[in-house]
Amino acid sequence: MRSLVFAAAVLALSSPALAQAPAAATALPLNIGGRVAPAPGGAYDFGWPGVYFEGRFAGSSIAVAADTGAEHLAVSVDGVRKAELTASGRTRVELENLGAGEHVVRLDKLTESQSGSARFLGFFVGGDGKALPPAPRPHRIEFIGDSHTVGYGVRSATPICSQQQVHDLTDTSLAFGPVLAGRLDADYRVIAFSGRGVVRNYDGIAPGEPLPVLFPRVIPGQAEPRAAASDAWKPDWVVIGLGTNDFSTPLHAGEAWPDQAALHAAYRQSYIAFVQGLAANRPGARFLLIAGDTFADDVAEVAKATGATPVRITGMDSKACHSHPSIADQKMMADRLEAAIRALP
């Protein structure tokens, strides 16, 4: 998809020095959604889907600097998307003529990185502009899942996609998580990896590395660094959608489970342990578990054992890449989860 640029100058930067602000510029303090790893010079590396950075300032212009890696990033001001950064490498966006007064600038990660990462270098205000403290939202919500949570190929109008199209048409900002978070006025983070399940991954790939094993990573494709179990980021709600990949493909000879009954039993046992482990470090958080067509009974048992709320999701049109949820499906999922959250006692 062609980059969108509105009243913005997008500059490719050939050296690290050029990506930094001019000496007179001031870096904005940040509200960060998602896991990030501190990098030199006040920068942050990030790889999980849906990571975002927000800053607040007074003035008519702002500069945004990033190293996109292989990812697509979106820049917005006051909720209006101004540019999509789709070229690889260091980039600085100069947004001008924004009007007087206070503004919120935001950088969103759209695509999925299963290896590698991108780097945020900062928001910079200069001239007569003024950096202001960020304004975090009153609620927090955490989304844990697979490709449905990622927003895999969601921009596609057809299920027939190349791998490059999957990458380019994935947009986590259109997935149910960010949509729901917007309705709840919540900051959010997304820990999701396409093709992964609770105990088994799609078609038996990457044995021994389902989502719960990857979950502690700060960058999804790197075993280190790892997030502390006692992470200070405490959500009000945790939404987990895992199970499609455990059961969507037949077992192969040599896998860890002799039959489907054993797989379902292992799924339930491991899922209960995963939820209980998360709950121990998220005091007061309410858990909601998405139940799909092939594993609804299993999720009901996990929910009963953990005190979570099961949320049945069915009836999707699955018109996005490789028969994944479409934009309409993602909105429907957000609708059902919103109803479930608002019905909680």
Token digits of residue 54: 């927000």
Active-site residue, selected from the candidate residues 147, 156, 173, 194: 147
Residue 24 confidence (pLDDT): 66
pLDDT tens string, the chain, 345 residues long: the values are: 333 333 344 444 433 333 444 556 899 999 999 999 999 999 999 999 999 999 999 999 999 999 999 999 999 999 999 999 999 999 999 999 999 899 999 999 999 999 999 999 999 998 889 999 998 899 999 999 999 999 999 999 999 999 999 999 999 999 999 999 999 999 999 999 999 999 999 999 999 999 999 999 999 999 999 998 778 899 999 999 999 999 999 999 999 999 999 999 999 999 999 999 999 999 999 999 999 999 999 999 999 999 999 999 999 999 999 999 999 999 999 999 999 999 999
Distance CA 101, CA 114 (A): 40
Residue 141 confidence (pLDDT): 98
Whether 147 is catalytic is: yes
DSSP 49-64: TT-EEEEEEESS-EEE
CA-based nearest residue to 239, from 343, 110, 314, 333: 333
Rg (CA), the chain: 20
Distance CA 338, CA 139 (A): 14
Distance CA 109, CA 199 (A): 27
Token digits of residue 68: 């996109």
Domains by residue range for the chain, with CATH: 8-132 (2.60.120.260), 139-342 (3.40.50.1110)
End-to-end CA distance of the chain: 44
- Rounded (to 5) percent helix, strand, coil in the chain: 25, 30, 45
Strand partners, 27: 124
Strand partners, 54: 31, 106
Strands (E), 68-183: 73-77, 80-85, 90-95, 102-109, 118-125, 130-132, 139-145
Strand partners, 290: 311
Residues whose CB falls within 8 Å of the CB of residue 253, separated by 6 or more in sequence, listed in order:
none
Phi-psi region of 344 (alpha: psi -120 to 50; beta: other; left: phi over 0): beta
Residues whose CB falls within 8 Å of the CB of residue 175, separated by 6 or more in sequence, listed in order:
49, 50, 148, 149, 150, 151, 154, 190, 330
Strands (E), the chain: 8-12, 26-27, 31-33, 37-39, 43-46, 52-58, 62-67, 73-77, 80-85, 90-95, 102-109, 118-125, 130-132, 139-145, 186-192, 237-241, 286-291, 309-312
pTM passes above 0.75: yes
Residue 230 confidence (pLDDT): 75
Token digits of residue 250: 């037949």
Token digits of residue 84: 């999509």
